[in-house]
Amino acid sequence: MKKLVLIISMIAIIHNVSAQDKLVEPTKPEETEDYSYTPPVVSTDNEMNVPSDAVVLFDGSSLEEWQNAYSDEEAKWTLDAEEKSMTVKKGTGDIKTKKTFGSIQLHIEWRSPAKVEGKGQGRGNSGLFFQERYEVQILDNYENETYPNGQAGAIYKQYAPLVN
């Protein structure tokens, strides 16, 4: 009985393939195109020069979009409103965004320490975690040899960056 089912299935597959060869392409775009949706226009015509659909998590003036990574406590990193920067404050732990995200485009800017010390992974090392699982490496690896999937821009220990 099993042999008969297999033979019938093979005949059906062969028949479908030969039937597809005889399909005629539509001649009018309206028959295959979807005109019901127009993607929104994204501009950068604003004070911060960021895409109009961006969620700005840090504008240099506050840490209100951030919290302690392991509790609901506020982020306790050092804020420098004049420099429009935030800096890890020793002993305060990791921070995370209050909002959660799925698919994203990321723009990040960072500075390496003013005084260059250390080598390899011990030089200005940090990271940005996604979904509490993946880490984009932040590292001063300018003229600083380290393993490829540990360089700045790498998905840490998984994928090397496309460029150094």
Tell me the pLDDT tens digit for each residue of 113-141.
788 888 888 887 888 888 888 899 988 88
* Confidence (pLDDT) at 78: 95
* Confidence (pLDDT) at 3: 55
* Confidence (pLDDT) at 160: 94
Tell me the residue type at 25.
E
User: What's the CA gap between 142 and 147, in Å, rounded?
Assistant: 13
CB 135 within 8 A of CB 150: no
Average pLDDT, the chain: 83
* Confidence (pLDDT) at 6: 47
* Confidence (pLDDT) at 98: 93
- What is the share, in percent, of the chain residues with pLDDT greater than 90? 29
User: What's the CA gap between 85 and 63, in Å, rounded?
Assistant: 10
User: What's the CA gap between 135 and 24, in Å, rounded?
Assistant: 49
Nearest one of 111, 95, 102, 105 to 56, comparing CA atoms: 105
Mean pLDDT of 86-111: 87
* Confidence (pLDDT) at 131: 82
* Confidence (pLDDT) at 115: 82
* Confidence (pLDDT) at 63: 95
How many Å is the Cα radius of gyration of the chain? 26
Highest mean pLDDT (candidates 5-19, 83-97, 124-138): 83-97
